[in-house]
């Protein structure tokens, strides 16, 4: 099925050049984004993603070019045009086209981009075995709850993981594990799940929230509190969450293996699968 895109006010071919050189997303990373997973033609947690998009826009003092309802309508039209049933909808809003200056454009003219593409799926063998991760110093800015386009530290961390033969890199700040380069992270110890609290230090992941809901609905004890790298290394289980990875077990951290048995992670994964239906 064809991947499809939308920019500013029209649908375009996925490879059509449309971004002007003075686009602020291109020049400054001055924008925000969301990724929505589509299962069997149905967008999953669309309302939650629209809510976070609004919050990110407000946090950087940018007015959305359309209402959330209109952005959702355009996203669904793009999905329908693509014909892809297992898809990802990528939404991006920037502060638009303007001469290169750091201050906001006057008047403002934010721009919406949408891309619908085939969904990335974790191979079943990785799902069963779990994935290795590494740790890296957290050098990001202090407003990680904003889903902004400024992702260079994340890019560098992900590349570091790739070169180490790992699936993900976890950010560690003064001994405290925050989150992954494109995921949230959880540990399990003595049957209790623990994850970093939803402060400005991490992205408030949609799948993170669902995993927390699944734990509470299944009477699995859960704490939203900081934990150290030492605690993570001594965990009975650990997993990462994201829109594209869902709930994915961690097999090793910096080369140190975790136990093969993962009953809590598996229970949460199955509960997540149920919510998709």
Class of domain 4-118: alpha beta
pLDDT tens for each residue of 167-186: 999 999 999 999 999 999 99
Please state whether beta strands 131-137 and 87-94 pair in parallel, antiparallel, or not at all (unpaired): unpaired
Residue extents of the structural domains in the chain = 4-118, 124-275
CB atoms inside a 10 Å sphere around CB 121: 12
pLDDT at 123 over 90: yes
Chain mean pLDDT for the chain:
96
Closest CA to 149 of 27, 66, 56, 25: 25
The pLDDT value given to residue 1? 61
pLDDT tens for each residue of 132-181: 999 999 999 999 999 999 999 999 999 999 999 999 999 999 999 999 99
pLDDT tens for each residue of 48-75: 999 999 999 999 999 999 999 999 999 9
The pLDDT value given to residue 172? 98
pTM above 0.75?
yes
Instruction: Give the pLDDT band of residue 110 (cuts 50, 70, 90).
Output: very high
Angle at 58 between CA 34 and CA 114, to 5 degrees: 30
Q: Name residues whose C-beta falls within 8 Å of residue 158's C-beta, 6 or more positions apart in sequence.
A: 168, 169, 181, 182
List active site positions: 147
* Helix axes of 263-275 and 206-217: crossing angle, nearest 10 degrees: 110
Closest CA to 267 of 204, 209, 185, 188: 188
The architecture CATH gives domain 124-275: Alpha-Beta Barrel (3.20)
Query: Does residue 107 have a cis bond before it (omega within 30 degrees)?
Result: yes
Q: Which of 17-31, 49-63, 189-203, 218-232 has the lowest mean pLDDT?
A: 17-31
Read off φ and ψ for residue 223, nearest 5 degrees. Answer: -125, 130
Q: Give how far Cα 206 sits from Cα of 52, 66, 145, 189, Å.
A: 9, 22, 12, 23
């Amino acid at each position: 099925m064809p991947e499809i895109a939308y920019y500013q006010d029209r649908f375009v071919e996925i490879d059509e050049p449309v971004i002007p050189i003075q686009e602020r997303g291109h020049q400054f990373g001055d924008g925000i984004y969301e990724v929505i997973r589509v299962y069997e033609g149905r967008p999953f947690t669309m309302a939650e993603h629209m809510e976070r998009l609004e919050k990110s826009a407000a946090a950087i003092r940018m007015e959305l070019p359309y209402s959330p309802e209109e952005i959702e309508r355009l996203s669904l039209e793009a999905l329908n045009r693509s014909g892809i049933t297992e898809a990802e909808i990528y939404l991006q809003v920037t502060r638009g086209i303007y001469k290169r200056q750091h201050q906001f454009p006057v008047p403002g003219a934010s721009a919406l981009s949408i891309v619908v593409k085939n969904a990335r799926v974790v191979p079943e063998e990785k799902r069963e075995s779990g994935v290795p991760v590494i740790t890296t110093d957290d050098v990001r800015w202090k407003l990680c709850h904003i889903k902004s386009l400024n992702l260079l530290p994340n890019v560098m961390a992900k590349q570091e993981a790739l070169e180490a033969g790992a699936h993900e890199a976890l950010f560690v700040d003064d001994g405290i594990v925050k989150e992954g380069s494109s995921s949230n992270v959880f540990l399990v110890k003595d049957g209790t799940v623990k994850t970093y609290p939803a402060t400005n230090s991490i992205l408030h992941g949609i799948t993170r929230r669902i995993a927390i809901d699944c734990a509470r609905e299944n009477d699995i004890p859960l704490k939203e509190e900081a934990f150290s790298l030492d605690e993570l290394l001594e965990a009975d289980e650990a997993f990462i969450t994201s829109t594209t990875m869902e709930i994915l077990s961690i097999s090793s951290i910096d080369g140190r293996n975790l136990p093969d048995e993962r009953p809590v992670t598996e229970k949460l994964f199955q509960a997540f699968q149920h919510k998709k239906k």
